[in-house]
A and B are shown apart, each in its own frame.
Chain A
């Protein structure tokens, strides 16, 4: 039987369908399930009240991240509600025999950082977590996406979820990225081009030279932001870069199992002629360092540009004006030179070792600006150790910065790291929604280079001016 050309997405999805319900969703088998303290307690209550066990506890991995403080982690968590959620995660994991990296564990960190770095995330898997940035794991050629708590309960009970198969989109970017342009800029550029809802209903594959030449950390950043254009997830075909990253990691297959897995992983790419519901093509040469100015991630532009007029954006005029009013920005206002109060480096988007290398490259030999409060938060203890080992911590300290302890931190204002009302933060995280980083906080999303340039100048600055070599 001759096979029709298939996409990467089709190959992975179809390999996991336990049953297709006519006029209904597919029942999809889930290889890996990550849980954290916020979206899992009610799911455990659910299976308890139904008296259902966890079907495959060895396929679920727990880590504490959203609520955890990023200083004094050796001390008890002060907020009683946070402490209670963290305790619930630990007791549920213990009760059901689920592996957990709790606060204080040397492997603790943000769920989407610790999964890949420990080899739990492997090419071709289906991965879910009660967190929309689960799309991060698509960097390994996985179908990975965020789910709600009802679905967390389903996965605990049955290792399956029920989802209609999404439509397929491919975004191809060829060419070479310019000086000072990082994977985060590629993500923000794509979102600004297609809007925050431009990929809703689709699962996205990223293809072309830009992604082929990207490191795994960079691919994770891009796939992480897929949800910010509405896509359920994004994925990149696994290649030698992927295999080299995975090989030898703690939970990656070894020996014969590795050879068998590798042979399969090499088949995971889109065949020539495979059909997509939508195809978009961008040119790398058009991407400059990006920054957002509004209250959804689609409201961003090149850093040298001014804030567009309402007539130039795809959002409705009333919503756009509401957005600028919240930010206290004017149409036509330049972004360069805008005074900033806070800089946040971290999150599941940009909390990996390469992000700290990039930040250090800009701040090396410079000093933190006096008006800036900087929170530099590694994505995990493994990243933290690497920062120390590579001498990055010394560079940061010399420039007047401190390193905090791992966690989601200021990305979502659930823990103590909140940006005060009315203050401006340049943040390497993923969302600039109203109040996302604290009630009244004003967020400008950007790359680690831009964050670093702001941190040493105190204002929105083009990092290309501070990067000496090409």
Chain B
């Protein structure tokens, strides 16, 4: 499914300084019953965001109007648990384009890249600085520069490099996906399959 190209994103950020944010929190299983990719943002962090009577929980960050932006900043081991891509869909559909953390779960990271969300891994120290900067000024802006592979706190100019492989970087900056690539190498795949033991 097509996604917006990603180059340089300058935005305020939403802080979630909680460790081990698992995909059951990002989108609980009971909301995985759609047969189309629509409307998942409404249920992003459903049980942290709403009471059982569907009224908003006032102390949850997404219900606090002072925080907004296209960048979500999460604690260590973000996206652990289930392989549900619905978690990445919900984050994208809500309006985030980038998640910053000091550590991502593997499957979530892969799913994010496949749907057009940039997962940015920073050091624990820099993550802490980002949280403190947002706490001090919720309107502080971050710049995530994919071509340069940097994330910068614009207020102070403090910056850190992040890793991404060249192939995925090329895909994200151009809005390509893996199926385009795989379709172009089909003859190699069918030749490989002929030799398969199974």
Closest-by-CB residue of B relative to A413 is: B29
Contact present for B198 and A31 (CB under 8 Å): yes
Segment with Cβ contacts to A, from B5-13, B14-22, B134-142, B144-152: B14-22
| A436: Cβ under 8 A from any B Cβ | yes
In contact, A414 and B29 (Cβ under 8 angstroms): yes
Instruction: Determine whether A148 belongs to the interface, using a CB cutoff of 8 Å to chain B.
Output: yes
Partner-binding segment picked from A50-58, A331-339, A345-353: A50-58
CB distance from A262 to the nearest CB of B (A): 11
Q: How many residues of B contact A (CB 8 A)?
A: 59
> Quick one: CB contact mask for A429-454 with B, threshold 8 Å, 1 for yes?
00101111001100000000000000
- In this complex, how many residues of chain A approach chain B with their Cβ under 8 Å: the count is 82
Closest to B115 in A: A150
Task: Given the known inter-chain contacts A433-B25, A434-B47, please indicate yes or no for A29 contacting B193, CB distance below 8 A.
Answer: yes
Contacts of B185 in A (CB 8 A): 18-19, 27
| CA–CA, A261 and B110, complex, Å | 33
List chain B residues, Cβ under 8 A from A434.
24-25, 47
Chain A CB within 8 A of B183 CB: yes
Q: Which of B55-63, B65-73, B154-162, B173-181 contacts A (4 or more CB under 8 A)?
A: B173-181
Check if B103 is an interface residue, CB within 8 A of chain A: yes
Question: Complex formed: what's the CA distance from A82 to B29 in Å?
Answer: 12
- Alpha-carbon separation in the docked complex, A39 to B167 (Å): 25
Report yes or no: B81 in contact with A132, Cβ–Cβ below 8 A: yes
Contact with B along A29-56 (1 / 0, CB 8 A): 1011000001101100110001010011
**Residues of chain A within 8 A of B17, CB atoms compared:** 318
A146 within 8 A of B: yes
Are B107 and A315 in contact (CB-based, < 8 A)?
no
Say whether A162 contacts B182, CB under 8 Å.
yes
A316 touching B167 in the complex, CB below 8 Å, given contacts A148-B85, A158-B189: no
Q: Which of B24, B83, B84, B115 has the most CB of A within 10 A?
A: B83
Given contacts A18-B189, A18-B192, A159-B193, is CB(A154)–CB(B182) below 8 Å?
yes
CB-CB under 8 A from A18, the residues of chain B are 185, 188-189, 192
With contact pairs A264-B197, A296-B80 given, residues A164 and B105 touching in the complex (Cβ less than 8 Å):
no
Residues of B with C-beta under 8 A to A85: 33, 35
B1 contacts across to A, CB distance below 8 A: 46, 150
Contact A19 B83 (CB under 8 A): no
| B133 interface residue per 8 A CB criterion | no
- Please give, as numbers and ranges, the residues of chain A lying within 8 Å of B30 by CB-CB distance: 413-414
B33, B110, B168: the one within 8 Å of A24 (CB): B168
CB of B166 within 8 A of chain A?
Answer: yes
> In the complex, what residues of B have CB within 8 A of residue A38's CB?
32-33, 84
Interface of A is mostly: loop
- A49 and B19 alpha carbons, distance in the complex (Å): 38
Tell me which residues across on chain A come within 8 A of B20, comparing CB atoms.
196-197, 295-296, 315, 319
B196 and A433 contact, CB distance less than 8 A: no
- Report chain A residues within 8 Å CB of B18: 318-319, 322
Which A residues touch B111, using CB under 8 A?
Answer: 148, 150
Given contacts A132-B81, A197-B76, A264-B197, contact A316 B35 (CB under 8 A): no
Decide if B183 touches A157 in the complex (CB within 8 Å): yes
- A427 vs B158: C-alpha distance when bound (angstroms): 47
Cβ contact of A82, chosen from B33, B110, B165, B181, cutoff 8 A: B33
Separation of A27 and B185 alpha carbons in the complex (Å): 10
Whether A197 contacts B188 by the Cβ 8 Å rule is: no
Convert A376-413 into 0s and 1s, putting 1 for each residue whose CB lies closer than 8 angstroms to a CB of B: 00000000000000000000000000000000000011
Interface residue? A308 (CB, 8 A): no
Q: A125-B198, A146-B107 are known contacts. Are A160 and B189 too (CB-CB below 8 A)?
A: yes
Q: Is A153 an interface residue (CB 8 A)?
A: yes
Say if the beta carbon of A168 comes within 8 Å of chain B. Answer: no
Selected A-B contacts with CB under 8 Å, 10 pairs: A29-B189, A42-B85, A66-B32, A88-B35, A158-B179, A160-B189, A200-B105, A200-B106, A318-B17, A435-B28
State the A residues within 8 Å of B (CB): 18-19, 21-25, 27, 29, 31-32, 38-39, 41-42, 45-46, 50, 52, 55-56, 66-67, 79, 81-82, 84-85, 88, 122, 124-125, 130-132, 134, 145-151, 153-154, 157-164, 166, 196-197, 200-201, 227, 230, 232, 260-261, 264, 295-296, 315-316, 318-319, 322, 412-414, 421, 431, 433-436, 439-440
Enumerate the 5 nearest inter-chain pairs by beta-carbon distance, A residue then B residue, closest first: A24-B167, A146-B83, A148-B85, A23-B166, A148-B111
- List 7 additional A-B contacts (Cβ < 8 Å) besides A88-B35, A196-B77: A41-B36, A46-B179, A149-B85, A227-B107, A315-B19, A435-B25, A439-B47
